[in-house]
Amino acid sequence: MKQAIAGVTPPSIKEATIMTVWPSVAAMKLGPFPVGLWLGKLYSLQVGFYVFTVGNLICLMSIPIALVLYAKRIGPIVATRYRVTNKRVMVERGLGAKEDKSIAFNHFDAIDIEVKPGQDWYDAGDLVFRFGNVERFKLEGVSRPAAFRQVCMKARDGFVGVQEALGE
């Protein structure tokens, strides 16, 4: 074993993955159209009685569309992933998880959660990374955004704390 503590790797030696999540169906688009958001808004309609609501009926009728969106979400060629490492937060796309964009932990100090209409049905939201009042980075349609935000902030606090202690 080459590590003092199993699973802990200093950022100066190697970039290690802490957590990877896939965007919710709420973030999926077909072309320029945010179909995932539209479906979430429709599914939330509570007009009706018991389980026979307009939203539930639309949910049943839209199963083929939802399956296409889900396949796009996890498909190896088109999939997008959000990955937290011991250095930064990244957006990876496609086969082989090619890095699309990223933000280092010392380039933000707060993360806000914005829930658009339609995302609440999926328990999803957008994470907005800010430095002061300036938006620096955005992850759209993150599933369970509060938990992912907490992981990002804990990893950031650990990274920045060590950097301050070392005087870097």
Helix (H) or strand (E) holding 55: helix 54-61
Contact yes or no for 47/54 (Cβ under 8 A): yes
Structure tokens at 41: 């808004």
pLDDT of residue 1: 46
pLDDT tens digits for the chain (168 residues)? Answer: 455 554 566 666 778 889 999 999 888 888 888 988 899 999 988 888 888 889 889 989 999 998 888 888 887 777 889 999 989 999 998 888 888 999 999 999 999 999 999 999 999 999 999 999 999 999 999 999 999 999 999 999 988 888 888 876
Quote the Cα angle for 22-13-139, to 5°: 25
The pTM assigned to this predicted structure is 0.83
DSSP per residue, 31-50: TTB-HHHHHHHHHT---EET
